[in-house]
Chains A and B, each alone.
Chain A
């Protein structure tokens, strides 16, 4: 699972009001190279929750993103920054570990890069 997906995922348990962001418990993190496309990064930037991304990247051992969300103007020109964002969003994969719901503490295990988001019957 990549951070771009983590940034979209929230806890779906019934009654949970604030199931985002899921905390990452990293077991094994791998990197896979993906073609860099600045247009896509710019397109996604508007949708990304910056704080969750920085925290997620930290817990996966990547600390090069700035704490505060950069301006949209930076994105137009700053190629190195876009590359960093690209790396964090698309190239870091969480292979083994778990996602933890911030409200209930429920753990969703991640095996072979696939988070198990199936809910038990009493959670629907």
Chain B
């Protein structure tokens, strides 16, 4: 797949001058980044006492995600491996401090000083071995281990990740848990292939019991046509091998209105634009047609 930049080149080479500028001047990327960091900050669940916190932005790039942190009044350190991206960040006069560093080499920070960490679309880069000396497992281990040390007790780290496959997701999660973190994955828009976003929410120290719920299309826009099926999404499907298979319901009349409604509902859940149901939906045509 050519749309995964981490397969093309290592990050410090892929994000050169032109690519860094392109990245920051694209209004679509800026908007997506802002939304993702907004959501990541929400998942960080910082105490709401009005005191600014000292946060870490891992893979900050040109500081798009850091801007959201500044807007919310927090102070932050940004870490990135691409000098070009950081130069763009300097030009844009971001408020946080920037460090040129490789997260796979571990973060050189003192223990217990950071109140929270976010990372937008960065950790999957660690899964690639770009040099002969790179070993993804060890780099992830160094990264999560050093992150665990520098976070204060009870602090959270939220990573928005695009794992390429299940093996990568497992590798990341396993290394995080081995480092001592508690927590798991929060998935937004689980039904959609494009809008689906995964957040790895890790807690340092005791895990709080408050439950994070994934976002759903219904929360935002589609509430006008049908509100009845909101609860479906947290459930886990069970497949039973011994259960008799459902018989196909095909007869001479075709699939029927019920089937069409079901399919439309499925498509709606994926976030697609689907016409509203009406009395004309799945109605039979006249015979003279």
Contact = CB atoms under 8 A, between A and B. Distances in A.
Contact of A11 (B108, B112, B142): B108
A121 to B, nearest CB: 5
The secondary structure that dominates the A interface is: loop
Nearest to B90: A112
Instruction: State which size class the interface on A falls in.
Output: 20 to 34
A3 B256 CA distance: 70
A12 B106 contact: yes
Contacts, number: 85
Contacts of A117: 99-101, 108
A35 to B, nearest CB: 9
Nearest to A101: B108
Nearest to B95: A34
A30 B105 CA distance: 30
Which interface residue of A4, A8, A40, A43 has the most chain B CB atoms within 10 A? A8
Interface stretch (B21-29, B46-54, B172-180): B46-54
A119 B131 CA distance: 14
A20 B97 contact: no
A10 B109 contact: yes
Nearest to A49: B110
B108 A90 contact: no
B97 A1 contact: yes
Interface string A10-44: 11100000011000000000000010010110011
A118 B51 contact: no
Which interface residue of B108, B112, B113, B142 has the most chain A CB atoms within 10 A? B108
Given A8-B150, A19-B108, A116-B100, 17 more contacts: A1-B98, A5-B99, A8-B77, A9-B99, A10-B109, A12-B146, A20-B110, A39-B52, A43-B52, A43-B53, A49-B110, A90-B75, A114-B83, A114-B90, A115-B99, A115-B100, A124-B105
22 contacts: A2-B97, A5-B77, A8-B77, A8-B110, A8-B150, A10-B108, A12-B105, A34-B95, A39-B52, A40-B51, A43-B52, A43-B53, A44-B54, A112-B87, A114-B90, A114-B99, A115-B99, A117-B99, A117-B101, A118-B81, A118-B105, A124-B133
Interface of A: 1-2, 4-5, 7-12, 19-20, 34, 37, 39-40, 43-44, 47, 49, 90, 112-119, 121, 124
Interface of B: 50-54, 73, 75, 77, 81, 83, 86-87, 90, 95, 97-102, 105-110, 112-114, 131, 133, 142, 146, 150, 152
